[in-house]
Structure 1
Amino acid sequence: MEPITGTVLAGRSLEPVRGRVVVEDGRIEAVEETDTESTDIVIPAFVNAHTHLGDSVAKEAAVGLSLDEAVAPPDSLKHRRLAAADRGELVSAMRRTLRFMRRTGTVSCLDFRESGVEGARALREAGADAEVDPFIFGSGDASVLDVADGYGASGANDDAFAAERAACEERGRPFAIHAGEPDATDIHPALDLDPDLLVHMVHAEREHLERVADGSVPIAVCPRANEVLDVGTPPVRELLDHTTVALGTDNVMLNPPSMFREMAFAAKRFDVSAREVLRMATAAGAEIADLDCGVIAPGRRAALVVLDGDSDNLSGSVDPVRAVVRRATALDVERVVA
């Protein structure tokens, strides 16, 4: 492959390097500082740290509904729509969402897949030719681990999930769980399960943050979805001060899974730097799922997004990191390399 040239946001620090990325056999061989006339901006490809791709069959169906009415199991609008969709419709809808994600720079996502074993199999089928590799947190009983990469629990107020947690431990698979979305009552019970990932933590308080820090439990936040469902605002600055925080887009029925939109929202809403937000959208999600991407560095998988730094939107930007996080859109994507 020809070297990829431009301003490269390299390493975990995402420091701009004028130069090129050398790729051989799908891996980054070197990041070299050198003169280049290219105006492109080269960034790590995104890892969306929390999605519900099954919702692709019900886009915008939940407008104006509360959290319980929209997505809470087992009788919300979302679950009724999932039950009514036939397999072909579901697979097609999820595949189309995955294709959109790929075009907008996302190469993997951490998906909470409903409907047990068959739900996980449907997502595997959808991802097979979509060029986005979903990391599947399955649901139902522990048998879903025969197909899924881990287990994704709805919340500690819904069930005990002790058997599923034990099965994950036995098989060496990650256990993830929603916590602190409508209120704080399920956070301590979720932490008692020793999770590998918490999702949302909108209502996290100091006592919860201390337990998160003690256990080094990573958190995925989804601020746009929280806004749509009117459940509150996650304390992103405080979460970052205590643990690894990754960025997700949550339910496809509520928002498109665009990491550009999610980054811009987070950067402008919270007391966080552009670099922190870009790490949340790339390296953090990759680290949580132990994926070999998220950072542009020698030895890593070549998973890159090349942006047109001379587009009508980005031309004249004085800080490439801030431009990527706060200004860039899907229209600025020249290509996705993965």
Structure 2
Amino acid sequence: MEELTGTILRGESYEPVRGRLVVEDGRIEAVEETATESTDIVLPAFVNAHTHVGDSVAKEAAVGLSLDEAVAPPESVKHRRLAAADRSDLVAAMRRTLRLMRRTGTVTCLDFRENGTDGASALREAAAPLAVDPFIFGSDDPSVLDVADGYGASGANDAEFADQRAACERRGVPFAIHAGEPDATDIHPALDLDPDLLVHMVHAEAEHLERVAAGSVPIAVCPRANAVLGVGDPPIRELLDHTTVALGTDNVMLNGPSMFREMADAANRFDVTAREVLRMATAAGAEIAGLDCGVIAPGRRAALVVLDGDSDNLADSVDPVRAVVRRATALDIKRVVV
């Protein structure tokens, strides 16, 4: 049994509770209000809802390029670099990124992994020795589902994905697809595939949001990456008003996979509350992937981040939730409990 004390951000409302959290056999046994002198802040570990960890072999390679030049298959900088990468170098680079995620409080990422079965297997290999377990959305042929956890489509304007969608349905695994990143033309075709997750939705309009709400389709947004590529800002307030919205960092070659940076950017630039942003960075991604984390409550998996509330950065903060979302950095982490 292990006991954590301090200010605990409890439940789906992230209510700050002064007290203790008891962990036994990897699960949260109890959250109790009690007197404590600890200044620690305990929050759920992060779930990064959209990544491309394979891009770890090409950091900064696409900054300053257009969306098509940077990432569009098959001739973009991204795909040329991936094709040229030696497998051992690719695995090593992805392992470094996953290790960084772990150190900065992320316990899993919902990763779109290129290069079919070989690509998904390489990511499994990269993650094997680490305490980070990526949820892999595979690519190419439906046979990738023998290795991956679901299928991740590049976009409805890029190719036909009916076979892959049907394969996901047969196996009972999620089908995800990029939509509405460069413009709105691929959103309705993406929705026609009955996806389990939409990514980006920068150019979502009222008619799209009505369909999203009717189908309860969750959305992963990546505002920092959208800004780097110059495609616009997702309408996060409107998306939240219609469905579950999760936060991701997108391509590693464009941004580091820091959920602290992503939360601060979202909180400072969009019409959202700190609690909404924290939920986007934790519980929302966990729900999308069917993971038992993202919320501090008895019976849930103990995937937690412990911050030093008395650090030079966080000391004297009057609102712990806002402090976590807007101010905290990796330097404030005392430990990650998984």
Segments of structure 2 that go 5 or more residues without pairing to the other structure are none
In 2: Cα distance, 1:51 partner to 1:63 partner: 16
Instruction: Write the letter of the residue equivalent to 2:34.
Output: T
Q: Which residue of 2 aligns with 1:75?
A: 75
Cα distance between partner residues in 2 of 1:141 and 1:149: 14
Distance 1:95 1:159 in 2: 30
Q: CA deviation at 1:160?
A: 1.4
Q: Secondary structure at the match of 2:92?
A: helix
Equivalence map 1:225-240=2 (5 Å): 225-240=225-240
Q: Secondary structure at the match of 1:133?
A: coil
Q: Is the 8 A contact 2:2 2:24 kept in 1?
A: no
Aligned to 2:298: 298
State the TM-score, normalized to the length of structure 2.
1.00
Shift of 1:129: 1.0
Aligned equivalent of 1:220? 220
Q: Distance in 1 between matches of 2:69 and 2:104?
A: 30
Report the equivalent of 1:17. Answer: 17
Structure 2 residue 42 is the aligned partner of structure 1 residue 42:
yes
Report the AA paired with residue 56 of structure 1. Answer: S
Q: Are 1:246 and 2:246 counterparts?
A: yes
Is residue 201 of structure 2 the alignment partner of residue 201 of structure 1?
A: yes
SS at match of 2:287: helix
5 Å matches for 1:319-334?
A: 319-334=319-334
Q: Indicate the SS of the match to 1:108.
A: strand
| Matching residue's letter, 1:302 | A
Cα displacement (A) at 1:2? 2.6
Q: Give the whole-Å Cα distance in 2 for the aligned partners of 1:53 and 1:329.
A: 21
Deviation at residue 62 of structure 1 after TM alignment: 0.9
1:126-137 counterparts in 2 under 5 A? 126-137=126-137
Task: Report Cα offsets for 1:268-297 as digits up to 9, x if no partner.
Answer: 000000000000000000000000100000
| Aligned Cα root-mean-square deviation (Å) | 0.4
Residue identity in the other structure for 1:76? S
Matched, 1:317 2:279: no
1:261 is paired with a residue whose SS is helix
Q: How far does the alpha carbon of each residue in 1:126-177 deviate from its partner, in whole angstroms, 9 at most, with x for none?
A: 0111211000000001000000000000000001100000000000010000
TM-score normalised over the length of structure 1: 1.00
Q: Is the 8 A contact 2:306 2:336 kept in 1?
A: yes
Give the match for residue 122 of structure 1.
122
Name the structure 1 match of 2:277.
277
Q: Does 1:189 align with 2:186?
A: no
Partner of 1:160: 160
Unaligned runs of 5+ in 1: none
Q: Does 1:29 align with 2:33?
A: no
Which runs of at least 4 in structure 1 moved beyond 6 Å after TM superposition?
none
Structure 2 Cα separation of the partners of residues 43 and 73 of structure 1: 38
> How many Å separate the matches in 2 of 1:2 and 1:293?
18
**C-alpha distance in 2 between matches for 1:95 and 1:6:** 32
CA shift for structure 1 position 63:
1.7
In the other structure, the counterpart of 2:63 is 63
- Displacement after TM superposition at 1:119 (Å): 0.1
Distance in 1 (alpha carbons) for counterparts of 2:211 and 2:124:
34
Structure 1 Cα separation of the partners of residues 2 and 192 of structure 2:
50
How far, CA to CA, are the matches of 1:64 and 1:262 in structure 2? Answer: 20
The Cα shift of 1:179 comes to 0.1
Distance 1:130 1:177 in 2: 27
Deviation for aligned residue 1:321: 0.1
Q: d(CA) in 2 for partners of 1:209 and 1:129?
A: 41
Q: Identity percentage over the alignment?
A: 86
Alpha-carbon distance, 1:243 to partner: 0.1
Match of 2:317, as an amino acid?
Answer: S
AA matched with 1:91: V
